[in-house]
Structure 1
């Protein structure tokens, strides 16, 4: 079975919990363990928080997720106002209040990529997670 979610969300703080809960319910329905679901929720929350706080243009953002029983592939797409460089490549100090989102996404998921959108302004945050426990 394959489950595909595509959501267009307002760029506000209330949207992140909604998308996390929606994705978590789908993963739970597929029988994914709580530990793996928590890793995906954490990474998704960090990606959404970055878009909500830093995307200067656009009132909305998109989240696309595909689950096939083996992998969960997630993309968080912002509406622009910057580029993939806003994510930076450095490491924030462990005591830093901000700037650890990408580190957390990389620590809890696989195949993390940040890219500029091809046809419009904005960035795409892509990550994957194996659903096998």
Structure 2
């Protein structure tokens, strides 16, 4: 079975739990273990938090997720215009810093993490993948 989710969300703090719960319900329906679902939820939460905090140009952002039973591929797409946080430009966060660890966490809990500029519009695409095998 293949599941595809595409959501356009308001750039506010209430949207992150909604998208996490929606994706988690789809993964649960596919029989994905709670450990793998938690890893994906953590990465998605970090990507959404970055958009909500830093992407000042747009009032909305998009989340696209594809699941095929073997792999989950997620893209969080913003409208840009904000400041580029340290975690996205590769600068390491201080060990006890409260901010700047998002990309490091995403890399630790998922696979194929990368951030790219949007091709034809302002903004960035945060892409990550996770194997659904436990």
Q: Same fold (TM over 0.5)?
A: yes
* Distance across 1 between alignment mates of 2:125 and 2:99: 20
Corresponding residue number in structure 1 for 2:90: 89
Partner of 1:46: 46
Q: Write out per-residue CA displacement over residues 94-132 of structure 1, whole angstroms, 9 at most, x where no aligned residue.
A: 210100000000000000010000010000000000000
Task: Provide TM-score, normalisation by structure 1.
Answer: 0.96
TM-score, normalising length from structure 2? Answer: 0.96
* Large movers: runs of 4+ above 6 Å: none
Cα drift, residue 81 of structure 1: 0.5
Q: Which runs of no fewer than 5 residues in structure 2 stay unpaired?
A: none
Partner of 1:91, secondary structure, is: coil
SS in 2 for 1:20: helix
Give the match for residue 80 of structure 1.
80
RMSD of the alignment, in Å? 1.1
Is the CA contact (8 Å cut-off) linking 1:9 and 1:62 kept in structure 2?
yes
1:44-123 matches, within 5 Å, as: 44-82=44-82, 86=85, 87-123=88-124
> Mean alpha-carbon deviation: is it higher for 56-65 or for 88-97?
88-97
What's the secondary structure of 1:40's corresponding residue?
A: helix
8 Å CA contact 1:71, 1:131 repeated in 2? yes
1:46-97 C-alpha deviation (Å, 9 max, x unpaired) = 00000000001010000000000000000000011158x5411022122101
Structure 1: how far apart are the matches of 2:37 and 2:109? 11
Unaligned runs of 5+ in 1: none
Secondary structure of the structure 2 residue equivalent to 1:105: helix
Alignment: residue pair count:
132
Quote the Cα distance in structure 2 between the aligned partners of 1:104 and 1:93.
14
